[in-house]
Amino acid sequence: MTTLVVFITGCSSGIGRALCWAFHQKGCKVIATARSLDSLQELEAAGMTALALDVTDTAAISRAVDAAIATHQRIDILVNNAGYGQFGPLVDLSLEKLQAQFQTNTFAAIALIQQIAPIMKRQQSGLIVNIGSVSGIVTTPFAGAYCASKAALHSLSEALRLELSPFGITVVTVQPGAIRSNIGAAAKEALAGVVAPESWYVPYRETIEQRATLSQVNSTPTEQFAAQLVHQVMRPGPPAVIRLGNKSRWLPFLRKWLPASVLEQILKRRFNLE
């Protein structure tokens, strides 16, 4: 059998980096991408292909895909992992910050798929794995931009799964729960300056910061998550939706079975909005 070639975005740390190692240990040829090549030196030293890629730059996507094909001649699995969390009250977020959130978490995935799906069609096979979030199912206060970007990615994945199926391309949506990574620290950094001194939400500043780092509370180890995910997506006929990690099941359960008014009251109480 042909050794599978896996193209992964957002590999400088966290989930993306752990997925590189997990696929590598399965014998796959891994193409690790990140904005900074320096962050990929350890992966490259282990035999993986390292490519610089800013997923918000369509020209950079073209260059990276061309380089991947020049080296490996094919791409069997695309993992759209690159993303970050923009937290804060929606009335305080600039349109530029909102657009940047969707550009990275949602539109970049589509841009990569539009470049790589034709390659998979020529191969008559391919797997696209979009890393969404349980936050795309249960929207919480002070995370509206992030939750919406992931919910949009879920919907796009659902449409793509149907549209690409005639061409031998499978699409899987991953909805992680709390997974240990640097997303909390990055989210706290992205929050800087959002709540200005004149904001309505100055009294809620501590709560907002807690929401930005909430995914790191009782989080599942990244390596454990990556090993479980790779095992599932490499099986024949992988599930359409994969939920892994702490909180990945009970939050959707609450959304499905609790009356909306009850869930709203729980969230208000949790985030001091009563």
Helix (H) / strand (E) containing 62? helix 58-72
Nearest one of 59, 41, 52, 43 to 9, comparing CA atoms: 52
- CA–CA gap between residue 27 and residue 192 (Å, rounded): 41
Residue the block writes with tokens 């949790």: 270
Is 146 one of the catalytic residues? yes
Which CA distances in Å does 15 have to 99, 131, 189, 226? Answer: 23, 10, 19, 7
**221-257 burial, b for 16+ CB within 10 Å, e for fewer?**
ebeebbbebbeebbeeebeeebbbbbbbeebbeeeee
Which CA distances in Å does 122 have to 27, 45, 64, 161, 212? Answer: 23, 31, 19, 17, 42
DSSP 28: P
Q: Which of these is catalytic: 84, 146, 201, 204?
A: 146
Question: Concatenated DSSP letters for 75-129?
Answer: --EEEE-------S-GGGS-HHHHHHHHIIIIIHHHHHHHHHHHHHHHHT-EEEE
- CA–CA gap between residue 11 and residue 232 (Å, rounded): 20
77-80 vs 49-52, strand pairing mode: unpaired
Q: What are the catalytic residues?
A: 146
